[in-house]
């Protein structure tokens, strides 16, 4: 643990946070919380970099409930920023990545930053993204004796690392924790000689020419070939108030935050498998779950639909979308519009869980590589893109099925084909 990060509690909070002369960032975390585990090393790394300008404090929310309630902290992790005893800037919560946290920190401390000497890294294969697709590609490429480097803006694992139980991955004896599955993949890649550079923000990319170039905040990477495996992320609710109430009643992970809504009334937005399955999951805790869906039918599997529609604690509002989220310090309700009649209504709720699809993380490549209308990368069956030496694998690729096993399969093909590409040169 960084010496520039401390643990505080209800008794020492005023001295540690409110009376401190420097700006302070406070991490309210919980046990058995996948987003908390993902944030912990990022938070510690930021403490090492910015510890001279800002104080980093962690508070165990489950043992400091009164303090959490005082500041309306309802989910873990939640980051609060203080300056001279007053809360400043927007809160961060849920799955917080390094660029998002760094941006707020630098805003609080006035944009100052510690610059380090830039590194130069030359490799055979540069893999962007360390989820199952990237790790699988690294296993094959590194085993083929290619100098293979993976870089990721977060920690290895992608979406899988935030999944508590994986029950359908072949060869895992039925059920395995997402974190354990990722750790197994990571160890294999490292054992074969791959290099993993995590918590790296990609700031520039040039895929043209024989030598590919990728720039991060502290290093320049030069590669003979690139595999894009940056994955996808949940779409945010397109409604007024989403950013203000994110973590204060708006959530994107029922497994992470559902237990906070014991005997409450909650909404689920969406109609695919994730939305319908998570609505059923939430009935373990919530008194009533209302699904708001823009169509008059679900897109979920027949089995998922049947389970939800037969559950007496679930009701559905069809042909409707959430237009506004309102409340004070926490969500109190939403404005819903019927997209056919254009009529609006107010619905009281204590929380929203949003599942309206995923969006590919391809913004960095928009002007360099061919994308489809939804932003995904088209490839052939060998994972080749329209640029020689550039491959794509996993959820970032244009395809019909997105599962851990299909991502690993893509990565396997990409890892084999990149070896053939380099040897062919």
Query: How far apart (Å, rounded) are the C-alpha atoms in residues 282 and 278?
Result: 6
Per-residue pLDDT, averaged over 317-321, amounts to: 97
> Counting beta carbons within 10 angstroms of the beta carbon of residue 30, is it exposed (0 to 12), middle (13 to 18) or buried (19 or more)?
buried
Per-residue pLDDT, averaged over 341-367, amounts to: 93
What is the reported pLDDT for 1?
A: 46
From 354, 376, 401, the end of a domain falls on 354
What is the reported pLDDT for 162?
A: 66
pLDDT digits (tens, 9 = 90+) for 91-109: 888 778 888 899 899 989 8
Question: Torsion over CA of 221, 410, 166 and 163, rounded to 10 degrees?
Answer: 40
Query: How far apart (Å, rounded) are the C-alpha atoms in residues 301 and 70?
Result: 42
Q: What are the residue numbers of the active site?
A: 253, 256-257
Query: How far apart (Å, rounded) are the C-alpha atoms in residues 163 and 172?
Result: 15
Are 364 and 349 in a shared domain? no
In order of 15, 59, 81, 97, 391, the CA distances from 54 in angstroms are: 15, 16, 10, 19, 41
Indicate the pLDDT class of residue 328, thresholds 50, 70 and 90: confident
Give the residue from 383, 390, 388, 385 showing the smallest Cα distance to 412: 383
Residue 163 has pLDDT above 90, yes or no: no
Residue 74 has pLDDT above 60, yes or no: yes
Neighbouring residues of 306: CB distance < 8 A, sequence distance ≥ 6? none
Indicate the pLDDT class of residue 113, thresholds 50, 70 and 90: very low
Per-residue pLDDT, averaged over 306-335, amounts to: 94
Query: How far apart (Å, rounded) are the C-alpha atoms in residues 314 and 291?
Result: 7
Structure tokens at 238: 């397109």
Give the residue from 321, 330, 322 showing the smallest Cα distance to 245: 330
Are 259 and 227 in a shared domain? no
Residue for token pair 């935030």: 162
**Domain membership of residue 229 as a residue range:** 119-233+358-424
Instruction: Name the range with the highest mean pLDDT among 26-35, 121-130, 298-307, 397-406.
Output: 121-130
In a domain, 261, yes or no: yes
Strand-strand pairing, 148-151 and 195-197? parallel
From 108, 140, 169, the end of a domain falls on 108
Question: Torsion over CA of 395, 398, 400 and 401, rounded to 10 degrees?
Answer: -20
Residue 182 has pLDDT above 70, yes or no: yes
What is the reported pLDDT for 423?
A: 93
Indicate the pLDDT class of residue 111, thresholds 50, 70 and 90: low
Q: What is the mean pLDDT of the chain?
A: 90
Q: For 355-393, list the strands marked E by DSSP.
A: 358-360, 390-392
Are 311 and 254 in a shared domain? yes
Residue 281 has pLDDT above 60, yes or no: yes
Query: How far apart (Å, rounded) are the C-alpha atoms in residues 385 and 377?
Result: 7
In a domain, 114, yes or no: no
Structure tokens at 169: 């991955």
In a domain, 133, yes or no: yes
What is the reported pLDDT for 165?
A: 67
Query: What's 77's domain CATH number?
Result: 3.40.30.10
Give the residue from 418, 425, 394, 370 showing the smallest Cα distance to 185: 394
Query: What's 149's domain CATH number?
Result: 3.50.50.60
Residue for token pair 């679900």: 298
Indicate the pLDDT class of residue 90, thresholds 50, 70 and 90: confident
Residue 330 has pLDDT above 70, yes or no: yes
In order of 150, 312, 313, the CA distances from 308 in angstroms are: 41, 9, 9
Query: How far apart (Å, rounded) are the C-alpha atoms in residues 334 and 346?
Result: 6
Residue 299 has pLDDT above 90, yes or no: yes
Are 50 and 188 in a shared domain? no
Q: Is the pTM of this model over 0.85?
A: no
Per-residue pLDDT, averaged over 344-356, amounts to: 95
pLDDT digits (tens, 9 = 90+) for 184-240: 999 999 999 999 998 888 989 999 999 999 999 889 999 999 999 999 888 899 999
Share of the chain above pLDDT 70, in %: 96
pLDDT digits (tens, 9 = 90+) for 17-44: 999 999 999 999 988 777 888 889 999 9
Per-residue pLDDT, averaged over 67-77, amounts to: 85
How many domains does the structure of the chain reveal?
3
Strand order in the sheet with 86-93: 5-8, 55-60, 24-29, 78-83, 86-93
Comparison of pLDDT for 256 and 45, the residue scoring more = 45
CA 268 to chain CA centroid, nearest Å: 19
Indicate the pLDDT class of residue 173, thresholds 50, 70 and 90: confident
In a domain, 310, yes or no: yes
């Amino acid at each position: 643990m960084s010496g520039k990060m401390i643990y505080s509690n209800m008794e020492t909070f005023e001295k540690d946070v409110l009376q401190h002369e420097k700006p302070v960032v406070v991490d309210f975390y919980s046990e058995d919380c996948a987003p908390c585990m993902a944030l912990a090393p990022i938070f510690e790394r930021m403490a090492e970099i910015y510890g001279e300008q800002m104080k980093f404090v962690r508070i165990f929310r489950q043992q400091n409930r009164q303090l959490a309630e005082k500041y309306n902290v309802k989910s873990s992790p939640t980051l609060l920023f203080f300056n001279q005893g007053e809360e400043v800037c927007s809160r961060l919560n849920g799955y917080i990545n390094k660029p998002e946290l760094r941006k707020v920190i630098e805003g609080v401390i006035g944009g100052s930053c510690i610059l380090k000497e830039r590194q130069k890294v030359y490799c055979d294969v540069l893999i962007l993204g360390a989820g199952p697709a990237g790790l699988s590609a690294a296993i094959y490429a590194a085993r083929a004796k290619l100098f293979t480097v993976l870089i990721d803006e977060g920690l290895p694992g992608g979406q899988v690392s935030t999944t508590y139980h994986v029950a359908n991955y072949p060869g895992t004896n039925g059920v395995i924790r997402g974190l354990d599955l990722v750790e197994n993949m990571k160890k294999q890649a490292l054992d074969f000689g791959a290099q993993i550079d995590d918590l790296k923000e990609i700031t520039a990319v040039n895929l043209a020419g024989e030598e590919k170039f990728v720039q991060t905040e502290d290093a320049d990477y030069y590669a003979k070939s690139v595999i894009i495996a940056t994955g996808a992320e949940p779409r945010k609710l397109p409604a007024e108030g989403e950013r203000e109430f994110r973590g204060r009643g708006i959530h994107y992970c029922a497994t992470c935050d559902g237990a906070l809504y014991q005997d409450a009334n909650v909404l689920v937005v969406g109609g695919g498998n994730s939305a319908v399955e998570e609505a059923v999951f939430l009935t373990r805790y919530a008194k009533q779950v209302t699904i708001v869906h823009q169509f008059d039918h679900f897109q979920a599997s027949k089995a998922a639909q049947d389970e939800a529609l037969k559950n007496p604690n679930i009701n559905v509002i069809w042909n409707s979308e959430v237009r506004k989220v309102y409340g004070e310090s926490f969500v109190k309700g939403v404005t819903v519009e019927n997209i056919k009649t254009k009529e609006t209504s107010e619905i009281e709720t204590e929380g929203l869980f949003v599942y309206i699809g995923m969006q590919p993380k391809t913004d960095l490549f928009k002007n360099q590589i061919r994308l489809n209308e939804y932003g995904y990368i088209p490839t052939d069956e060998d994972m080749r893109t329209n640029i020689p030496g550039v491959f794509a694998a996993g959820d970032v690729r244009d395809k019909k099925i997105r599962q851990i096993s299909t991502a690993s399969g893509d990565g396997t093909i990409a890892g084999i084909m990149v070896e053939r590409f380099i040897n062919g040169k």
